[in-house]
Structure 1
């Protein structure tokens, strides 16, 4: 039976590059369809949802779609629970191009895995050479030849926190861990994790990477930066001067480094100022532009009240907060005071409105959470 042109294009578009190349010689029209499919692949990445993981508990990893339309894009074999190691629980550390970086341990991390929940392909990495209690980690994947290949290479960088006078960067590339030492010329505040009200897992999260440059929030009013291309490490100032005692977030959204901070402290939040980095990613001095000031508190309270979810009349804490990588959204996990109920909310920075993405129900009021946005690719990618 003859297929329509749209059906043929849709089938070709979903094939791996090596299989796609075999159909180029079928006819002139098929050759054009193959070329068009290759050229469009860069545009076919969608952030479809988030992995949600309570930290310090035995609760399973869960996945939530940001919309019903995006739910229909995913195949049935998509692993929403990330349980490819059946005999051991895993911690999701970061996500890049549809791949997850996972580890068996929350602290003293040495054994890492890279996993594609869409294809269920995983690889175990060689053991890291050092075993620090707390490390900051960055993870980035890229297609070396996006037109003709579906093979992904990845880079992992990490350093021990809190950083002191010397930072040792461990970088994993080409299946080898490499250590590089950098002297720090500024004073780094020492933090006692046992007395700090902020769970250290939130400081293990990377602020993302742009063109091989990785970013992390420091305990002080700084952002630590590592350029894996030119192998150099430096610090830039945050635009509002806030340190770890305040609620802050760092991430890459629509290709721009975004920073958000509120002076209300860790357990509550009011208006939040959001800034975009305007200077070059490799500039040693940061130039920030204030993008907007968000009245998050007012909109979130109103949305929760209208949804019947603000049972206690107040919010106990803002558990986690992250920037959406592809849309002008801030994703927030909130904890209601009564019963430890948790709610995932989405706040639109352009439209100044919020909505409830998911009601997690009652949980442990002392649980900390990890939100990991996930990208979906319409064609299979391989390690």
Structure 2
């Protein structure tokens, strides 16, 4: 009877006759989203697809193109409301995302802090006057989330960032930078989803660094621009601290700066800044050689050429908000109504995406949908 049941099962599911090598060969040719669904076929299929040894053979295209930006705006009664604006992806239909993150408990009490390769880092304060809060990392595409344990030290004034690269590891890291009374970084606490604990490291930059708001993660390092002086970086272990001198053009406190990677597989670090002392000129440099730490100026463009005559007004500035995670493109907001604009470096194309509104506030977080389930102990 048992043999008859097996024969019937094989008739109903001919794929059970396939050898593991042949099945991997077939599965390697399907889209990643289909691969995720195929885990439900059987325990055998799920085990094969989820096995770490098959990661390189099976599709890893879990990341889509940039879908848009998450940001907040103030309501008439001064409450913060989360919003999402779509970015055109070559005629493809927009990917739906609920900016309220309704799948999170007490979702209206969360604040957006950072995004990285499809994951979001949020904070939730217990009360308006309380110092105690939870960090939460979530994936809007799968509506999975995990609450982090409290770090050893926490304060509303600290800077927290997220580091995650699904092509390298299924684990993420959260960086919380500790500052002194003057805003200088004195150390960092790093959470690893692999170990589930925070580790503390004293600053290894060798000078009192003050961080700007924009950051970038790539090659296992989190990069920031330190005001006045350099691009600084720390790795996910907190053991390697880098200081990369700025390009020779003089920067000041009124310079908008952004760092970013156009292609994480290449690991090319780009630096964009708007020089308000030189007619609001946009300058974009690339770090061609990490060893020599020499920046090469790739683009220099005036606001007239960038925005056109009717968009250039005396006293109205535009501010860089993000670097495209996959393309040679930067995004900035401009003017009183904070219009979101993209600039394609290779073609010189400028695209006006939409009006975010005078009440919109940063951070403006680029969102790339990620269809990957095996990340951490998701809820």
TM more than 0.5? yes
Cα separation, 2, equivalents of 1:140 and 1:208 = 9
SS of the residue 1:82 aligns to:
coil
Measured after TM superposition, the shift of residue 380 of structure 1 is: 4.7
User: Out of 300, 307, 311, which is 1:293 matched to?
Assistant: 300
**Aligned equivalent of 2:173:** 155
User: Out of 242, 249, 261, which is 2:251 matched to?
Assistant: 242
Given the superposition, is the C-alpha separation of residues 334 and 166 from structure 1 closer, same or farther in structure 2, using an over 3 Å criterion?
closer
**5+ long unaligned stretches in structure 1:** 1-5, 26-34, 147-151, 190-201
Measured after TM superposition, the shift of residue 188 of structure 1 is: 4.7
Matching of residue 251 in structure 1 with residue 274 in structure 2: no
In the superposition, the TM-score normalised over structure 1's length comes to: 0.72
**Aligned equivalent of 2:154:** 131
CA deviations 1:54-75 (Å, max 9, x no partner) are: 489523211122116576263x
Given the superposition, is the C-alpha separation of residues 332 and 291 from structure 1 closer, same or farther in structure 2, using an over 3 Å criterion?
same
User: Out of 209, 217, 220, which is 1:209 matched to?
Assistant: 217
Contact 1:296–1:347 under 8 Å retained in 2: no
When Rg is computed on C-alpha atoms for both structures, the one with the higher figure is: 2
Cα separation, 2, equivalents of 1:294 and 1:98 = 31
5 Å-filtered alignment, 1:25-174, equals 39-42=58-61, 45-54=64-73, 58-67=79-88, 72=93, 74=95, 78-83=97-102, 84-86=104-106, 88-104=108-124, 110-143=133-166, 152-161=170-179, 167-173=186-192, 174=195
Given the superposition, is the C-alpha separation of residues 36 and 320 from structure 1 closer, same or farther in structure 2, using an over 3 Å criterion?
closer
Contact 2:185–2:208 under 8 Å retained in 1: no
Measured after TM superposition, the shift of residue 229 of structure 1 is: 4.4
Given the superposition, is the C-alpha separation of residues 161 and 318 from structure 1 closer, same or farther in structure 2, using an over 3 Å criterion?
farther
Measured after TM superposition, the shift of residue 273 of structure 1 is: 1.4
User: Out of 324, 339, 344, which is 1:343 matched to?
Assistant: 339
5 Å-filtered alignment, 1:343-362, equals 343-361=339-357
Cα separation, 2, equivalents of 1:110 and 1:230 = 23
5 Å-filtered alignment, 1:276-355, equals 276-280=286-290, 283=291, 286-302=293-309, 305=310, 316-336=316-336, 341-355=337-351
SS of the residue 2:186 aligns to:
strand
Contact 1:342–1:360 under 8 Å retained in 2: yes
Measured after TM superposition, the shift of residue 130 of structure 1 is: 1.0
The CA RMSD over aligned residues, in Å, is 3.9
Cα separation, 2, equivalents of 1:165 and 1:11 = 46
Contact 1:323–1:330 under 8 Å retained in 2: yes
| Equivalenced residues, count | 331
SS of the residue 2:58 aligns to:
helix
Cα separation, 2, equivalents of 1:90 and 1:44 = 25
User: Out of 351, 369, 375, which is 1:376 matched to?
Assistant: 369
Given the superposition, is the C-alpha separation of residues 135 and 297 from structure 1 closer, same or farther in structure 2, using an over 3 Å criterion?
farther
Given the superposition, is the C-alpha separation of residues 168 and 253 from structure 1 closer, same or farther in structure 2, using an over 3 Å criterion?
same
SS of the residue 2:154 aligns to:
coil
Contact 2:88–2:94 under 8 Å retained in 1: no
Matching of residue 274 in structure 1 with residue 274 in structure 2: no
Cα separation, 2, equivalents of 1:269 and 1:58 = 36
Cα separation, 2, equivalents of 1:177 and 1:318 = 38
Cα separation, 1, equivalents of 2:42 and 2:32 = 11
Contact 1:166–1:184 under 8 Å retained in 2: no
Contact 1:270–1:297 under 8 Å retained in 2: no
SS of the residue 1:15 aligns to:
helix
In the superposition, the TM-score normalised over structure 2's length comes to: 0.73
Given the superposition, is the C-alpha separation of residues 214 and 379 from structure 1 closer, same or farther in structure 2, using an over 3 Å criterion?
closer
Measured after TM superposition, the shift of residue 234 of structure 1 is: 3.3
CA deviations 1:1-44 (Å, max 9, x no partner) are: xxxxx9xx76775232871784988xxxxxxxxx9996332375
